[in-house]
Structure formats: C-alpha cells, structure tokens
Structure 1
Amino acid sequence: MNLNNIEKDKTIVVIGAGSTLLEYKDEILSFIDTNSAVTIGINKVTGVIIPSYHLWTNRKRWGEYGGCVSRDSKLILGPSITCKHAKKHYGGKYDRIDYVDKKGTQFEFGKEQIRGYFRTAGVLSIAIAHIMGAKEIFIVGMDGYTLHNKKSLKKGEFNHHCYGAGHTDDSSWKECVEKDHIVYGCLSELQNNGIDFNILTPTVFERFYQNMLNLK
C-alpha cells in the first residue's frame, strides 16, 4: 500500500481500543468532528466509532474480532493475516501494509515498507499517520496496561479494552509493567525521529498527555 502523503495536511486521530475510548466517547467524537479528522482504528473499536482506516496486524485478534469491520472503513491488514484468514471475516477489497517490527531497528520508510520498533499496532499507526502526511497526529484510547491499578482490574471495575475483557487481561501485573515500559520506549523513539503527536485521553504514557480535551 502506498501511504506517502495520501492524507497530506489532514488531522489524523489514531483510535486505540483502551477503555478510555468508551469512557470519553462524546468528547472524542466531538474533537474528531470539529477537526474533520481522518481516523485510524486499531482492533475492535467499532462499538464507539467507524474509523476511516481500520488496521489489523495481530492474527489472533483478527480471528476473534475481525467480524466488527465496517464496509465504510478502508481495511488494512498486516502480513501475519493471510488471504485465507482475511476471508474468514471480510469478502471485500482491502490493502496490505508491509513493515518490519524489530528491536533496535531505526525508523525509516522506503519502497512502501516501514521499518522500526513499534511493538503495538497503535505505535505503528502513529508512524503510518506521519507517512500519510498528517498535519497533526492525536491518539485516543492508548491507555497502557497499567493505567488502572491491579486491584481495580481484578475486581472488574475497569478493563484494558473498550469492549471489555481481552487477550491481555490474563497477563500478570509484572508483564503489563514490562509491556508499558517497552511501548513507552517505542513512542519516545518515534518522537526522537521528529514525529510529533499528543495523546488526548488519560494514559500511563504521561509524557505525551497534555489533557487537551480538558477531561475530568
């Protein structure tokens, strides 16, 4: 898929599937509407918003949740989701994204391949938005695994995801802390490469959160 400047000078909002997406749904949708923003959705977010682009890179999550994709979105699939797997949920046209996700790899884009260390589809989407030529990049629903304390998660007062329990809810607290540490590093690396972005909803990645929506 040729991503280069296809949304040049647009505001792009990356839609993560964290529980804050549902919690602050009204504020998020208002921001998107006010800014006529293009959206890139990650995994199962269609209960809140139908994104402009819907990115799936994890075959396991696609297998379980891929049926939520709307025909109004432009579907983008990563290399781990084969044609056979794609047809399980989707019979229409879709695009492919070619990327290398490897620790220690310098971020770069050339010949339609993205290279870097992203760890999650959300981080990859920030890079995609940059390559698309975004004027501004914002992220919602990128809570991190440890935004809510361990006790609240165990009691079921909060979930990692806007759709309820998901694959990461069985991870140990130590694993969640480690994952957040890795993602924090990946986000920092993008910023160090000149990619500016802001997270709009509460997040464990506080360095990138400025509460621009004045959320309480």
Structure 2
Amino acid sequence: MPEAPIRLLIADDHPIVRDGIRGMFAGDPGFEVLAEAGDGAQAVELARVLEPDVILMDLRMPRMDGVTAIRELARLGLKARVLVLTTYDTDSDVLPAIEAGATGYLLKDARREDLVRAVAAAARGEAALAPSVATRLLGQVRAPADPLSARELEILSLIAQGTTNREAAARLFISEATVKTHVLHIYAKLGVNDRAAAVAVAFQRGLLPLSPPAT
C-alpha cells in the first residue's frame, strides 16, 4: 500500500507566492496542498479544521504574524509541524520562530528539491534549517567554543542510535518540544543542519564513542 501524501497548508499574505509554492508540489503524489491562508489567524483556523501534517508559514503577515500563529498552534495542541518559509534570516526573526516551536526554517530562495526535502523532514519531526539560519543559531550559542551540555550529549547519543524526537522524549521523560529545542542547539553548536551531519561531526570530534552503547 502506498504511503499517504504529506498534507500541506500554505500561509503567506502574497497570493503570487502561495501560487508559486503550490506549483512546487503540483503533480507530486507525495504531497497534497489542502488550503492556503493569507495571514496567521486564518492559518490557525484552517489548521484546526483540516489538520495538516505540515504548515509552510511566512513570518510577516497582517492580522496575526507567523510567530504568534506558531505559538497559538502550540497552545491549541495542534499536531501540525511548522516549517517557516520567509525572506528574513535576522536574529530577530529566526530565534523567536524557533523558540515558538517551528520545526524548520527555510528562505524563499530555496531550491525546489531543498524545500521538498525540508517538508518531508518536518513531517517526520526533524529540523531543517537554511545554512544562514544555522549560522545565526551557531552565533547565538557561541559555537564551536560552547560545549554541548550533558543533556545535549544524551540526545546526540540517542540521535546516533536512530531515535526519533518522540522516542527520545519518552526515554528521557521530557517533552518532545524540549527535545526539539535541544536538537536545534546541537545543530547550532556543531555547525550542521541535519541529524546525519550532527552524528558525523560528533564522531569526528570524539563526542560520541565509536562503539554503540550496550542495550
């Protein structure tokens, strides 16, 4: 049986941008665009009704901006992952969005294949960061001088074992959102933007044992 398509909601205040994003997924059986929203408030309302897997969220919109919408989605307990897709990569844009609960952050000049890959990663609960965004987060935590915390090393070890964010949260008795925040900090400190790169760099730096832990 084929896998169900990833169900998308596009939130952007520019119709031409929404059309362009929709066009990137048109004809791809792995994705289904459910609806479009012109502002954050409409995105939240549509998310409540349609229950998309991933919301492609612009940040600067009228009536309700993207960060406020992300916070509202979290407050309502909606399961949709949010992938920010915006023109802006300043600290004042990136950090509030990540802290509000965004799973990933891409810029609108991203190539189609990068966007598709990021949406698929977001649907799995994995972070996807544009290189410039990862660099900004890196600067915020003063990496590479800033060492990983004990908790971050625990989570990095679980990542190396192929554990999902949800599984790591269950093992460590913390929330999935907390795990996601730690993962983003790990990416920033190691200067990477995906799990495979984080594990590779960790082994290179001797942060993880070369032999797997005993179970």
Q: Which range, TM-score by smaller chain?
A: under 0.3
Q: Which has the larger radius of gyration?
A: 2
Give the structure with the larger strand fraction.
1
State TM-score, norm by structure 2: 0.28
Relative contact order, CA 8 A, sep 6+: which one is greater? 1
Q: Which has the higher helix share?
A: 2
